[in-house]
Amino acid sequence: QVQLVESGGGLVQAGGSLRLSCAASGRTFSSYAMAWFRQAPGKEREFVAAIGGLGRSTDYADSVKGRFTISRDNAKYSVALQMNSLKPDDTAVYYCAAGSWSGRQNPELSAYWGQGTQVTVSS
């Protein structure tokens, strides 16, 4: 079993940056692909970014390519999402999730979830 705890959310002006962190527990951390999803009010949860178990593969939603970077440190059981050039449309609750690489973009296929952290981007 994997437990996930996100941190790093907050309020930032458009064009600014934030770094989200996800702390994981569980000996099998490196066997999971890790992903970030987000959910804005009234919208469905959507895929943001994913990274493979060894950190060699990454995937991004088109809306964040070139602005967001996902990384992981298996020795520290952590995953990070560096978000630059933030836009008001990035406002959402961001969730860290653990699952398989093949199901990385589908929230229904993620096995474990954190509680979420709020990101608000003001215009």
Q: Is the distance from CB of 72 to CB of 80 less than 8 angstroms?
A: yes
Q: Is the pLDDT of residue 6 over 90?
A: yes
pLDDT digits (tens, 9 = 90+) for 30-56: 999 999 999 999 999 999 999 999 999
Q: What average pLDDT does range 13-35 have in this prediction?
A: 95
Dihedral sign computed on CA atoms, order 28, 4, 121, 61: positive
Mean pLDDT rounded to a whole number for the chain: 96
pLDDT digits (tens, 9 = 90+) for 57-87: 999 999 999 999 999 999 999 999 999 999 9
pLDDT digits (tens, 9 = 90+) for 97-120: 999 999 999 999 999 999 999 999
**Cα distance between residue 98 and residue 123, in whole Å:** 32
- Predicted confidence at residue 1, as pLDDT, reads 83
- Predicted confidence at residue 41, as pLDDT, reads 94
- Predicted confidence at residue 26, as pLDDT, reads 81
**Cα distance between residue 63 and residue 112, in whole Å:** 24
Dihedral sign computed on CA atoms, order 111, 91, 44, 42: positive
| Beta strands 117-122; 10-13: pairing state | parallel
- Predicted confidence at residue 27, as pLDDT, reads 78
